[in-house]
Structure 1
Amino acid sequence: MTAIDLNADLGEGFGRWRLTDDEQLLSVVTSANVACGFHAGDAATMRRVCELAAERGVTIGAQVSYRDLAGFGRRAMDVPPAELAAEVAYQIGALEVFARAAGARVAYVKPHGALYNRVVHDEEQAGAVVDGVLLADASLPVLGLPGSRLLDAARKAGLPAVTEAFADRAYTEQGTLVPRGLDGAVVTDPVTVVERSVSLARSGTVASAAGPVIEVRARSLCLHGDTPGAVELARRVRRRLEESGVRVEAFA
């Protein structure tokens, strides 16, 4: 039976402000990418999400980012490799404290936003992220885009490299994500998102923004928690996957 992990970006709040419905999404997903304070999240939020995830048996992952609270981690930045590696390790370490306090642990690492897109092509920044993971825990899997420099660097360093796909993001014909600033970059029609989810899980294919079907082989499927109706859409995706004979389970 085909297996797929469902991950979502959670803990994306700060103080009294909350962006995602963490409690409801944690009843659907199998892996939680928890913001570690650099693009969103704070100590209390990280602790709360880790406790909820541990209670529900959801795997905890560190979602690391450029230091960019004002831009939600989506602004392009140039960070020296040594500094970036230290900041990645710092974020993982911060989340690990709360994961362990909840009786769990950080089980993987995923970059966020501008950093995620940068390490698809930038070998130096990809290497810095991997160096940061190695500083924190040399056994942690790295979650990223198939064919990215990040996953290449992870494999070379001996880290498990886990491929990820997006049902609600448009793809170029080269298999990269269409930049968010362009029209159609985010797929909003629920029926289309559900259909794409099944196609990605069962056949490893998806229609590109230009039309041709491309191959995107992934072990994990990301469901964005900051889109309108995210919880109900996540439920529909999981239900349809299971009805299609796909086993939904964490990769880590």
Structure 2
Amino acid sequence: MPELTGLALAFVCLFIGGVLKGATGIGAPILAVPLLSSLYGVPTAVVLFSLPNFLSNGLQLWQYRRTPAPPGLLAPFALAGFFGAGLGTLMLVRLPSDVLQAVLAVAVFLFILLRLARPDWVLPMRVGRLLAAPLGFLGGVMFGAIGLSAPVSVPFLNALRLGRDVFVVTISAFFFALALMQIPMLALGGVMTGPLALASLIAVVPLWLGMPVGARLARYVSLKVFDHVTLAILGVIAARMLVQALG
């Protein structure tokens, strides 16, 4: 694939990821990391998305700073995710790229199945508080290793029925905590080079351009529409990644 075409696709993907994140609080890594991985491999994709993830979630935390987080849930969820991301980033540095790409493809398919199979699943908050630390750790490991924690974090928080604003502040704090561990470890592991760090910083632009568009669209377009579009795109991307990894 010509480099210019790959860059254009990456720009479009990050913009659409920003639209989805602005509308739902999630969407950017779910869409951007698999597509970038299919273009450049998992380690490069994770590095490219690391600064957009850190800055976009920091921005959303500031925007929703007056929204109260669920007591007894956010702290163990984010703290366990922080340490899980450390273990996952070590796996990213040491495992072969083809293995990581196959794991990422399977994780995307798992996310799609969970969203389609149990969309109305409800989890009581008292159970959610007990599961916050172990699921946060598992999500952190996945995020560090393949750049995607959504198969764990998103169904878990959706099942708690937090409400949009509380969901956004909780997931943003979680992703922000993961990035605080991930970025220094990527640099120390030699994966985040100077040119890739610059490319990651540039990747912030299309993501941030998309976020206000998504926030505005959320007032007029059903969230189910965003969900269905995201799942359809993810299915195609995951299939492509799995073929590449097996090939």
TM over 0.5: no
More helix by share: 2
Higher relative contact order (CA 8 A, sep 6+): 2
TM-score by length of 2: 0.29
TM-score by length of 1: 0.29
More strand by share: 1
